[in-house]
Amino acid sequence: MPGVPNSFQHLWTPHRLVYIQNGQQPAEHECPFCLGPNGSDEDSLIVHRGEFGFVLLNLFPYNSGHLLVCPYRHVSTYDLATKVEVDEIAAMTQQAMKVLTAVSKCHGFNIGMNQGEVAGAGIAGHLHQHIVPRWRNDSNFFPIIAETKALPRLLGEVRAEIAEAWNQVN
């Protein structure tokens, strides 16, 4: 009933409507991981481009600096990736960990891939690996009580800092 208070906080996210209307999976020709490399690094949130894949910030991050590593090729699961794609994804993951540690002083990482829509992949048609930086005490009452995640930095600032450090950190 309109105007009746309840215990839920409402976050208005009209940009998510495209996923809801399309069964939460974009058509292959609208795949953000295929379209992203065609745009500027700033607009696509890309921090590094490799030969077979690239690294970008997650548009809907769990934590500041939440990165995704993707092959350029539209392939859905890890077992369909070629050896050179797998090798580069692994190397970019290692470099991302080093860069995030240097830039954000994180204490650990959650790294993983959700393979397929049933496994929770937000974009199931295009392989991508999550690298989520974690800090001691990064949990607070917001996600637990308020079901809200507070992110302390803007995506553009984080992207610029990680991209600048990418080739400087060994």
- Angle, in degrees to the nearest 10, between helices 83-104 and 155-165: 110
Instruction: Find all residues with CB under 8 Å of 54, minimum gap 6, and list them.
Output: 36, 37, 46, 48, 69, 70, 72, 92
Alpha carbons 8 and 20: distance in angstroms, whole number: 20
Strands (E), the chain: 46-49, 53-57, 67-71, 108-112, 129-134
One of 48, 126, 128, 130 is an active-site residue; which one? 128
- The question of whether 15 is a catalytic residue gets the answer no
Q: Which residues are catalytic?
A: 128
